[in-house]
Copies of this chain bind each other. A is one copy, B any other.
């Protein structure tokens, strides 16, 4: 599994296996018994299951496996990061935020259900992510290891991370920002949780070498930003059918993006530069992390 010379077909099969596995895990995690909340639970399942690239869980699995963790030690952190991601999409799509109608090829949560339910779906998914990290069986995880994951995740999604990046995004509407400010916003809004996913995989595998953790953190930060720039490129020139969401949405929202500020060619060059920096950052981890380098290439070359 850790062969760095694995052909692309082998890598694609691994990614597909991760996707199939997280789908099962999320389905189990969202089989909540709580009676009287059928509509809320249906909306949580609708928003989470059956679609999505699953980049964040894939990062947890690939990182954790690279450092020798069994898959069942990775299910809980993989589910937690995807639950957080879905909560952020559901709230981001709200009329008070991006006001989007389509997500992952289907009506957004507040369109399929209602706005109040969508607020609660996000709130409950966030709580569930922490419940999963604190409760879910995790092969061999000590209380200290679980607490370390909760520390990383809660920091990644607070004012210094995802929520802070969303706030910067809200304030940026209709304004012109320098490229550095756009990168800073993306590093928090998208990058922090992607970085957190890599770190959760490492912590679940028991990685404790500060040099390796710093290297993985750097890798996560670079591919996080590369991923968002590629997302914005696809929003300009992508195929709505492949993407499952409305293209041209950033321009329609008057949101400054990397392509709208620096141009498409410079954006593509920056994404490739970040991919190379991500791969270079992995050096202290040796040859075991070949799958992560492969993923960095995929993030920048993807068309959906």
Stretch of A49-57, A127-135, A261-269 lying at the B interface: A127-135
* A159-B128 in contact (CB<8A): yes
Q: Is A1 an interface residue (CB 8 A)?
A: no
* A37-B170 in contact (CB<8A): no
User: A123-B126, A143-B143 are known contacts. Are A37 and B155 too (CB-CB below 8 A)?
Assistant: no
User: A127-B126, A159-B44, A168-B36 are known contacts. Are A119 and B134 too (CB-CB below 8 A)?
Assistant: no
CB distance from A64 to the nearest CB of B (A): 20
User: A114-B96, A131-B151 are known contacts. Are A159 and B34 too (CB-CB below 8 A)?
Assistant: yes
Q: Is A39 an interface residue (CB 8 A)?
A: yes
Q: Residues of A within 8 Å of B, CB-based: how many? A: 58
User: A40-B164, A159-B44 are known contacts. Are A130 and B128 too (CB-CB below 8 A)?
Assistant: no
* B159-A37 in contact (CB<8A): yes
Closest to A96 in B: B115
0/1 interface trace, chain A 159-182, chain B, CB 8 Å (1 if under): 110011011101100000000010
Given contacts A37-B167, A41-B159, A96-B116, 10 further A-B contacts (CB under 8 A): A34-B164, A88-B123, A96-B118, A120-B163, A130-B153, A134-B147, A143-B143, A146-B147, A147-B147, A147-B150
